[in-house]
Amino acid sequence: MKRATALLAAYVLASTAAATAAAPSRSASVTSSSYSAGAKPVALTFRLTYEMQCDNPGKSLVVSLPAAMSVPTKIPPSAVLVNGSRPASVSRSGPKITVSIGESHWLTCKTLNFGSLTVVIGRKAGLGNPKAKGIYGFGVAVGAIKGTPQLRII
């Protein structure tokens, strides 16, 4: 009986550990088409995983670019992809770029699951890497979800 109890306890602990290890968590990353200092134009890809209601990623993604980065006055929506589709709008205010990512649906639910969002700001946007080598943080926010993925410029 003691052995059966010990085996059951070991199974429960292993199952719990496996379920915990497999559970998704919030994450944010940024990659560049070039990591060379001063490279221009570059494409940036932001990948975020976070809690989404009904698989809706939210209304907009705000990206705070490093001050040392070269940013054009306007970025056309045709230079950006949101999960493979063109956004309705892209705006810039100083070092912040706001990309529309969602649309209102008449159907709502209360299901909350982890989902992924991929936003690519393509080369046609005209962004340029900082001229100095270093590690740069990119603030990203979707509503209350915030992060600061980092990019190493060499």
- pLDDT tens per residue across span 138-150: 999 999 999 999 9
**pLDDT digits 0-9 by tens, 12-35:** 444 444 545 566 789 999 999 999
* Distance from C-alpha of 136 to C-alpha of 107, rounded to nearest angstrom: 40
- pTM score, whole prediction: 0.82
pLDDT range class, residue 104, cuts 50, 70, 90: low
Residue 53: the pLDDT is 86
Spatial CB neighbours of 46, under 8 Å, sequence gap ≥ 6 = 28, 29, 30, 61, 63, 117, 118, 119, 120, 121, 138, 140, 149
- The helix (H) or strand (E) run that includes residue 4 is helix 2-22
Backbone angles phi, psi at 102, to 5 degrees: -135, 165
**pLDDT digits 0-9 by tens, 50-98:** 999 888 899 999 999 999 999 999 999 999 999 999 999 999 999 999 9
Statement: residue 7 has pLDDT above 50: no
- One-letter amino acid of 28: A
Distance from the first to the final alpha carbon of the chain: 62
Buried b (16+ CB within 10 A) or exposed e, 77-92: bebbbbeeeebeebeb
Residue 56: the pLDDT is 87
Strand order in the sheet with 139-142: 90-93, 96-100, 60-64, 139-142, 145-147
Q: Which CATH number is correct for 24-153, 3.30.70, 2.60.40, 2.30.30, 1.20.120?
A: 2.60.40
pLDDT range class, residue 42, cuts 50, 70, 90: very high
pLDDT range class, residue 103, cuts 50, 70, 90: low
* Distance from C-alpha of 126 to C-alpha of 79, rounded to nearest angstrom: 9
